[in-house]
Amino acid sequence: MSASAPHPRRDTRGIVDPAELFSRVRFRRHAPAPELRPYLEHYWLIDWELPEPYASQVVPHPSVNVVFQRYGPLAAPAAARSSAEVSGVGLGLFTQELTEVGRVCGVQFRPGGFRPFAPGWPVSAWTGRRVPLVEAFPAAGDPSSLSAVLSPEDDRARVAALDAFLLAHGPAADPAAALAMELVDLVRTDRTVRTVSRLASASGLSARSLQRLFAGHVGVGPKWVVLRYRIHEALERAGTTDAPDWAALAAELGYSDQAHLVRDFTTTIGTSPTAYARGLSVR
């Protein structure tokens, strides 16, 4: 299995309004320990202290996340609420309201990379769900893990605690996970892979075998992954291009016409591509 890059990616794919998010919270990404990199995208850390509530919005990746979170100041433990959860692949737009003071330390697994840490269940068991950490990691009930991740002010200490937690729970050898990660990477990076049949041909698997592999190790079907990465690309272009050529982008992403891109974008984000881009440009 090839290791992922030693540095986290820097794009903002999936974040609905990255400039607004970064102006409200302190957001960082960090690489995990080398032995974990084949399975993880990165760690993501957020701290905030807000004078008024703020709702962040994300179009989720086809990834499972493990999330350690604290709402309320560490200096007032009686008022703070801490928890840890497994967040399966989110099917729709994810909105989280942030208020007052808080902290989140998250683990974003590569699509296909979570199953080696929780081999007892297909990844589809977590899809669309947010469940307490102990449901996937029954031995993770010790509150010291929560404190070790959330208490340090230093990022390096938080990263070390996340590394220690994951290395204590796997990963188990799983060749199917390696194949799933490879195929999702192919969808993400190769624009010619626009259909399930094309992916099946590239992988040498039948469409049915591909569906089973993705259900067990990614949590969603290959068609869903293709469509989600299309929306991520459209969202990224809308936020970084002054006047996107939506017709050209639709063709580049494999849509039959611009109307289909507009429909998928609007259904996912809640506003049309043009309205979304216009809203960003007036800030």
Does residue 142 sit within a domain?
Answer: yes
The pLDDT, as a whole number, for residue 141 is 67
CATH number, domain with residue 90 = 2.60.40
Does residue 2 sit within a domain?
Answer: no
Total tally of structural domains belonging to the chain:
2
Cα 127 to Cα 64: distance, rounded to the nearest angstrom:
8
Q: Which two tokens stand for residue 273?
A: 């591509």
Does residue 98 sit within a domain?
Answer: yes
**188 and 82 both lie in a single domain:** no
**208 and 264 both lie in a single domain:** yes
Q: Which two tokens stand for residue 53?
A: 């509530």
**54 and 156 both lie in a single domain:** yes
**75 and 38 both lie in a single domain:** yes
Domain residues for the domain of 228 are: 175-281
Q: Which residues in the chain land under pLDDT 50?
A: 282
The pLDDT, as a whole number, for residue 172 is 92
- Is the CB of residue 15 less than 8 Å from the CB of residue 27? no
* C-alpha distances out from residue 166 to 2, 82, 176, 240, Å: 19, 19, 20, 35
Query: What sign does the CA torsion over 213, 218, 224, 227 have?
Result: negative
Does residue 195 sit within a domain?
Answer: yes
Backbone angles phi, psi at 163, to 5 degrees: -55, -45
Domain boundary among 167, 187, 205: 167
Domain boundary among 133, 149, 167: 167
- Of the CA atoms within 13 Å of residue 8, those in its CB half-sphere come to 20
- Is the CB of residue 142 less than 8 Å from the CB of residue 89? no
Query: What sign does the CA torsion over 46, 185, 229, 122 have?
Result: negative
**35 and 163 both lie in a single domain:** yes
Domain boundary among 141, 167, 193: 167
Helices marked H in 90-221: 133-136, 143-150, 155-167, 175-189, 196-203, 207-217
pTM over 0.85: yes
